Amino acid sequence: MKRKVEKKAKIALCRLCHGTGLLRHKDAAGHQYERQCPQCEGSGRVKVSAVMEFDIKPYKG
């Protein structure tokens, strides 16, 4: 028997940029630059949703 559990979308802090919306990089010359975080597109927050599927089978010793 398969059971599906859906987690509704919720707002969470973007873990890729830690909520700043920017990713910092250093190039080979040591120059630091920033670019927009691709995961939250610069907002610092993301919507997270999930669908989990459980496969449940009888256990008979």
Residues making contact with Zn ion (CB under 5 A) = 14, 16-17, 37, 39-40
Minimum distance, C-beta of residue 16 to Zn ion, in the bound complex (Å): 5
d(CA 15, CA 33): 19
Q: Which amino acid is at 5?
A: V
Nearer to Zn ion, 6 or 41 (CB): 41
Nearer to Zn ion, 14 or 25 (CB): 14
**Residue 46, number of CB atoms within 10 A of its CB:** 19
Minimum distance, C-beta of residue 49 to Zn ion, in the bound complex (Å): 17
d(CA 58, CA 61): 10
Minimum distance, C-beta of residue 17 to Zn ion, in the bound complex (Å): 3
